[in-house]
C-alpha cells in the first residue's frame, strides 16, 4: 500500500513538472517578445546560430514549412517574389524545414512526418527556393516559435524582438508582410 501511494505521488509530481515545463516551452509568442535563440544546420550542413545572425542588426524572416504542407506550396513562391522587392534588400529569409510533426500520409494515416535531405532538396529545386533552408528535424525550434501548424511566418527585427507571427497562408498575406518589412 505504501509503495503504491509513493508511486502515485511520484507519477503525479512528474506529470505536474512535465506539464509546467512543456507549457513554458510552447508559450504563445507575441510582438515585442525577445526571439528565442536556436542552433540548426542548413541543408548544406553548415552551422546556423540565430544569435550570430541577429548581431548584424537586420530583420529576419523565418518561414516554417514542410514538403508535405499544401499551403506552404502556395506561400513559398509568394515569399520568393516578395524578397525581390528592393525595399526589403536588408531582410534575410530563412526557410525552416520542420520534421517530426504529426500529419496524414498518402494513405490518410496520421504518422510522424520525416523530412529526409534528398526530399527537401527535390522540393527546393521544384519550388525554386533561393534562400537558405534550416533543418528542424525534431520540430524543437518550431515548438519554441509556436509553429506546430504550417506554414508559420515569424519576423524578427534587427533588435532581436518579434515583430510579426502568423499561422497559415492565403494570397495577399505576403503583401501585409512586405509592407511591414519596409518599415523595419
Enclosing domain of residue 177: 29-183
Q: Angle, to 10 degrees, between the axis of helix 173-183 and the axis of helix 70-82? A: 40
CATH number, residue 163: 3.40.30.10
In a domain, 12, yes or no: no
Helix (H) or strand (E) holding 15: helix 2-25
Residue 96 lies in a domain: yes
pLDDT at 27: 55
174 pLDDT above the threshold of 50:
yes
Q: Does residue 44 lie in a domain region?
A: yes
Residue 141: predicted pLDDT: 96
With beta carbons less than 8 A apart as the criterion, state whether 150 and 115 touch. no
C-alpha cell at 46: 553548415
The pLDDT tens digits for 94-110 are: 999 999 887 777 777 77
To which H or E segment does residue 166 belong? strand 162-167
**Total of domains in the chain:** 1
84 to each of 59, 88, 134, 154, 178, how far by Cα in Å? 15, 8, 20, 19, 10
* Residue 64: CB atoms within 10 Å: 28
pLDDT in tens, 73-92: 999 999 999 999 999 999 99
Let me know if residue 21 belongs to a domain. Answer: no
Structural domain contains residue 18: no
Q: Looking at the domain assignment, is residue 6 inside a domain?
A: no
Instruction: Give the residue with greater pLDDT, 158 vs 11.
Output: 158
pLDDT of residue 109: 79
Q: What is the pLDDT at residue 16?
A: 35
Domain assignment present for 113: yes
The mean per-residue pLDDT over the stretch 36-56 comes to 96
**Percent of the chain beyond pLDDT 90?**
72
Residue 7 lies in a domain: no
Amino acid at each position: 500500500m505504501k509503495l503504491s501511494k509513493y508511486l502515485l505521488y511520484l507519477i503525479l509530481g512528474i506529470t505536474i513538472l512535465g506539464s509546467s515545463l512543456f507549457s513554458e516551452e510552447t508559450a504563445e509568442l507575441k510582438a515585442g517578445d525577445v526571439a528565442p535563440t536556436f542552433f540548426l544546420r542548413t541543408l548544406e550542413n553548415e552551422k546556423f546560430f540565430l544569435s550570430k545572425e541577429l548581431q548584424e542588426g537586420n530583420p529576419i524572416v523565418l518561414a516554417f514549412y514542410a514538403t508535405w504542407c499544401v499551403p506552404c506550396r502556395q506561400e513559398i513562391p509568394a515569399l520568393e517574389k516578395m524578397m525581390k522587392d528592393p525595399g526589403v534588400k536588408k531582410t534575410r529569409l530563412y526557410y525552416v524545414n520542420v520534421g517530426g510533426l504529426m500529419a496524414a500520409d498518402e494513405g490518410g494515416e496520421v504518422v510522424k512526418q520525416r523530412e529526409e535531405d534528398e526530399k527537401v532538396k527535390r522540393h527546393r529545386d521544384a519550388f525554386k527556393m533561393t534562400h537558405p533552408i534550416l533543418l528542424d528535424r525534431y520540430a524543437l525550434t518550431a515548438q519554441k516559435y509556436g509553429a506546430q501548424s504550417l506554414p508559420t511566418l515569424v519576423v524578427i527585427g534587427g533588435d532581436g524582438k518579434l515583430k510579426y507571427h502568423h499561422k497559415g497562408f492565403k494570397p495577399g498575406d505576403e503583401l501585409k508582410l512586405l509592407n511591414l518589412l519596409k518599415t523595419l
